[in-house]
């Protein structure tokens, strides 16, 4: 698995467990939950630097407190052009709402790509901020989530309570 090339990382306790943030002073490159299924490893020499993530940490804390609905974070998740298109489209799903994989595929202009959308969604390197948890099955079921279905359920319920 490809490394996340980032000079710094930080950790943040949250209601869904420890979060790992990776990036530099300007952009967030990764946000993973403990035991995240598709977590990409840090590059050798990556150093802990909580100050580099001060704003992201504050925003995440406000999100979990129910005080923030939209993040203002410079993002630099690495992926294919298709993955990046899917991840960008995830940012348009409103806080507290959900969308099916098929709806997301139609919205990016390829209605037959729901399976590919699901794979790209699962490889999202910046959980929570790029809200892959808001994508559900066509029948409304909570389908796969790299951080685990219980965390997905918690995030969705949290957003409904905070709406």
pLDDT by residue for the chain (163 residues), tens only, comes to: 576 778 999 999 999 999 999 999 899 999 999 777 777 778 888 999 999 999 999 999 999 999 999 999 999 999 999 999 999 999 999 999 999 999 999 999 988 889 999 999 989 999 999 999 999 998 888 987 888 899 999 999 999 999 8
Domain boundary among 64, 91, 106: 64
Residue 75 tokens read as 């993002």
Asked if residue 73 belongs to a domain, the reply is: no
User: What's the pLDDT score for residue 117?
Assistant: 93
Are residue 85 and residue 151 in the same domain, yes or no? yes
> What CATH number should be reported for the domain holding residue 130?
1.10.10.10
User: What's the pLDDT score for residue 42?
Assistant: 81
Nearest to 12 by CA among 142, 128, 140, 148: 128
d(Cα 58, Cα 10) in Å, to the nearest integer? 12
Q: Distances in Å between the alpha carbon of 86 and those of 43, 50, 67, 144, 152?
A: 25, 29, 27, 16, 18
Asked if residue 1 belongs to a domain, the reply is: no
User: What's the pLDDT score for residue 29?
Assistant: 95
The alpha carbon of residue 72 and the mean position of all alpha carbons in its chain are separated, in whole angstroms, by 14
Is 46 considered catalytic here?
Answer: no
Q: Which of the residues 117, 126, 132, 156 is marked catalytic?
A: 132
Report the domain count for the chain: 2
- Whole domain around residue 109: which residue ranges? 81-162
Give Dmax (Cα) for the chain: 45
């Amino acid at each position: 698995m490809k490394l996340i090339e980032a000079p710094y990382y930080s950790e943040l306790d949250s209601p869904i467990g420890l979060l790992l943030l990776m990036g530099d002073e300007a952009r967030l490159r990764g946000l993973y939950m403990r035991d995240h299924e598709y977590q990409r490893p840090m590059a050798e020499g990556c150093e802990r630097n909580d100050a580099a993530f001060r704003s992201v940490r504050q925003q995440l804390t406000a999100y979990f407190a129910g005080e923030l609905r939209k993040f203002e974070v410079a993002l630099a998740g690495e992926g294919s052009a298709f993955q990046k298109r899917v991840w960008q489209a995830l940012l348009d799903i409103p806080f507290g709402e959900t969308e099916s994989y098929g709806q997301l595929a139609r919205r990016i202009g390829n209605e037959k790509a729901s399976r590919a959308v699901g794979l790209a969604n699962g490889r999202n390197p910046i959980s929570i901020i790029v809200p892959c948890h808001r994508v559900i099955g066509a029948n409304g079921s909570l389908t796969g989530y790299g951080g685990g279905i219980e965390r997905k359920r918690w995030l969705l319920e949290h957003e409904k309570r905070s709406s």
